[in-house]
Structure 1
Amino acid sequence: MNRQAQAVVLLLLGGAVLKASFTDLYLRYVKEGLRPFLIAAALVLVVAAVMTLWYDLRPAATAEPDEDHGHDHGHGHGTGGGHHEPRVGWLLILPVLGLLLIAPPALGSYAAGQAGTALASQQVSDYPPLPDGDPVRVAMLDYASRALFDKGQSIGDRRVVLTGFVAGGGPGGEPILARMILSCCAADGRPIKLGMAGNAPTGLAEDTWIEVTGRYSDRVAKDPVNEADIPYVTVESWREVPVPKQQYE
């Protein structure tokens, strides 16, 4: 791979990252807050590629006659001997093709079934009251943390609305409500799992997104993957919903 080919690959890679950053595609790889950094990195790649092409394709500077004579004497046998980098550099084209041609799904029920719930360590049980409203929309991580570490005290008898996808592998083999959370990117995604009691949905395919309205349940079970506690929610009603734009919490 010569320098021009390297520049073209860098230009394609930077363009692919820019394309993903200006659409919802980047949300399948990283958290929403990392978008500015993706754009900045892509611009650096594009600028580096353009500068490399400009430097390599610009007209050669005209040398003085006496300088030409001296250079011809010393380098007469070097004309046409270009420097080539290892062919392994062409592997950089693979992430470009992946970004441009393949749109992988976000982490779902399979990933949730392979990992234990993220609520595996004790947290400080000092939670503010829930926002006003009945029912009140609550993030899965917020509800699960309050249910486990606050024993539901900050939830009380309030009705909550939770959105997640159906996954298998519940403590008793029943379906659970799950949502993936990210620290940085999809590589460190971990599931938040909730058992569903009461009017729990049945017969739904895995990865079906639903919105659950319910109340706090003091029921707790063990995650069969990592033996961590899985809290429950008492379901009063539920409905199928479209896959949200932001699938990760």
Structure 2
Amino acid sequence: MRRYGPAVLLALVGAAILRVSLFSDLYLRYVQPALRPYLVVSGVVLVLLGVAVAVLVRTAEDGEVQEDDLGAPGGDTHATAGHTHGPAGPRVAWFLTLPALALLLFPPPALGSYSAEREADRRAERGVGTFPALPAGNPVDLTLGEFGSRAVYDSDRSLAGRTVRLTGFVTRDADGTWYVTRLLVSCCAADASSARAEVRGAAAPPVDTWVTVTGTWHPEGEPGSDAAWPPALDATSVQRVRQPDNPYEKR
């Protein structure tokens, strides 16, 4: 049975990838939607490789049995009892199946407040400038990334007087200040950075709770200055929502 270890491991990893990419939207916790076809192909290839390895191992075992039968005088089956050919590999290698089983049965959640806090003080250098006009009507649905960019860098102050609606998860500072936060990715969760807006005038839900916050921008400092970051929002309503299928924003 130990000879089938590589085949089992390949099949488990392939099945886990297919589970999160082909049979569900869980892959969105880790990568951008455009990468789904590559995940599906990778999963199929790994499963097929697992099957191929198992067939090769089985074929090799059958060949060894035939050689042993031919070499045993009078067909004495006891001559091959306990006989093995080649190393079967260390038993500890079976522990490699545990991560694959974990991904198959218990896919890790999307990144949350811990990751956002680690990156909260890092933001790209950007110049102050103008932005395209916002759509007419209130409230305006904006991503956290777009809201933060306009609030910090828009010299025309296009957010002034507008009601906006932001969706993200709750993060909190040690002093009780809380934020609606979203992680931005270019490719996958490994390159995630955070965008957040301070929420004022409303009680904070528990950390990592997903919420939709409606309110108006509270300008502070000059565009592009440290005082303008993080942007603030005077909330008129905070509604708990379920985590979206794609928890990340495109950077």
TM over 0.5: yes
Change in Cα spacing, 1:3 to 1:112, as seen in structure 2 (3 Å) is: same
- Work out whether residues 210 and 241 of structure 1, in 8 Å CA contact, stay in contact via their aligned partners in 2: yes
**What TM-score, normalized by structure 1, do the two folds share?**
0.77
Change in Cα spacing, 1:164 to 1:95, as seen in structure 2 (3 Å) is: same
Cα distance, 1:2 vs structure 2 = 5.2
- Work out whether residues 117 and 190 of structure 1, in 8 Å CA contact, stay in contact via their aligned partners in 2: no
Give, in whole Å, the separation in 2 of the partners of 1:47 and 1:227.
56
Q: What's the secondary structure of 2:199's corresponding residue?
A: strand
Aligned mate of 1:187, from 190, 213, 223: 190
What's 1:19 paired with?
19
| Deviation by residue 1:42-82 (Cα, 9 ceiling, x = unmatched) | 11111111122222223649x9xxxx99xxxxxxxxx8322
What's 2:34 paired with?
33
Count of aligned residue pairs for this structure pair: 228
AA matched with 1:7: A
Moved more, 177-186 or 148-157: 148-157
- Please provide the CA RMSD for this pair: 3.2
| Deviation by residue 1:1-59 (Cα, 9 ceiling, x = unmatched) | 95422111111111111111121322222233322221111111111111222222236
Identity %: 38
Specify every segment of 5 or more residues in structure 2 that has no aligned partner in the other structure, as ranges.
72-82
Q: Does 1:95 align with 2:95?
A: no
What's 1:241 paired with?
241
**What TM-score, normalized by structure 2, do the two folds share?**
0.76
> Hey, which of these two has a bigger chunk of helix by percent?
2
Change in Cα spacing, 1:228 to 1:98, as seen in structure 2 (3 Å) is: farther
Specify every segment of 5 or more residues in structure 1 that has no aligned partner in the other structure, as ranges.
70-78
Change in Cα spacing, 1:227 to 1:118, as seen in structure 2 (3 Å) is: farther
Aligned mate of 2:113, from 109, 124, 129: 109
AA matched with 1:92: L
Change in Cα spacing, 1:138 to 1:228, as seen in structure 2 (3 Å) is: closer
Give, in whole Å, the separation in 1 of the partners of 2:193 and 2:241.
22
Q: Does 1:161 align with 2:165?
A: yes
What's 1:148 paired with?
152
